[in-house]
Amino acid sequence: MINDSIDHVSSYIEQRVTNAVAEVINSKIQLIKSSARAFRNFENYRIAILLHCGGLDMHPGRGI
């Protein structure tokens, strides 16, 4: 098992880079996707992803 992942481990040790940020963004998109039935078209879905992942809170009723 260690032999299968030795390249990944050595790459992390050398570069100290992970894909954690990409995993967090993907998780947020999956959360939005689970409520995608509320969107009428892809453009609205895309805008929701950009707003959510960009950290903007444009929800009516919440302080701006």
Residue 58 has pLDDT above 70, yes or no: no
Which has the closest alpha carbon to 31: 45, 17, 19?
45
Whole-prediction pTM: 0.56
By 3-state DSSP, what share of the chain in percent is helix, strand and coil, each rounded to 5? 70, 0, 30
Higher-scoring residue by pLDDT: 51, 62: 51
Tell me the residue type at 44. Answer: N
Residue 60 has pLDDT above 70, yes or no: no
**Binning pLDDT at 50, 70 and 90, where does residue 64 land?**
very low
Alpha-carbon distance of 18 to 11, in angstroms, equals 10
Give the tens place of pLDDT for each residue, 10-49: 888 999 888 888 899 999 889 888 876 778 888 888 888 8
